[in-house]
Structure 1
Amino acid sequence: MIQVNRERYEIVEEKREGFNEEAFIGRFSDVLEKYDYIVGDWGHGQLRLRGFYDDNHEKATFDTKISHVADYLYEYCNFGCAYFIVKRMEFVEGEEAPPRFDGSSANTLKLKRKFSATKEETQDEQ
């Protein structure tokens, strides 16, 4: 199980060891939270993510239905590329949702300090 922001995902398919948690979290965008499935494929060393809905989802169009993911992989991905499909999991009733980074300035400042400290430590080691 993978957790990004408040959403949890489980890997439902993986080809050629295509899933890399660090890369997935790094490329993840809030826009993808609305989708039921996320497909990640590798091309030229870069991970591309695309969202898909369950077939019976009201917002699903022909191209965004999970039943057409094979067409997407065939038409838009490099032949034989490594890829994975993750499915968004629902929270169980009574389970507390994890906190979400809200982008407030206090949280941003903490993140900046953390990364600044890491950069300084790296420079000191050299």
Structure 2
Amino acid sequence: MPISPADRLAIHELLALHGHLSDAGDFARFDEVFTDTVSYDLTAFGAGVVTGRDALRDMALQLGDNNPLAHHVTNIVVSPTGADSAEALSKGLAVNTDGTTGSVTYADTIIRTDDGWRISQRVITPRRKPLTP
């Protein structure tokens, strides 16, 4: 099923907005990015699955200064899965307060809601070894 250029652009902007809101600590606007029941899988980091937008906000607030200094998203590939759903695969780069950086892969399930496209599920996988899927 094809996806319109307008929807594709909206999804790209949705993924970019997450980093801007996170870096600004503007978690009150997470409703512009995530469904209220989002599943945010941090299992690869030992943090399990965070369920719900409020729980995701609370986790970020609890991390405080241990959050990355900056989030960047790139290499976005959108694959429609239905008229109102898509999967997005992207790369994330984080800059930490100590100057170190990290790279992750985001695997997102995105759905069209009454308010626009929102992430309903995100799985984050750290990149720790070259040439691995």
* TM-score normalised over the length of structure 1: 0.24
- The one of the two structures with greater contact order (alpha-carbon pairs below 8 A, sep at least 6) is 1
Question: Over alpha carbons, which structure has the higher Rg?
Answer: 1
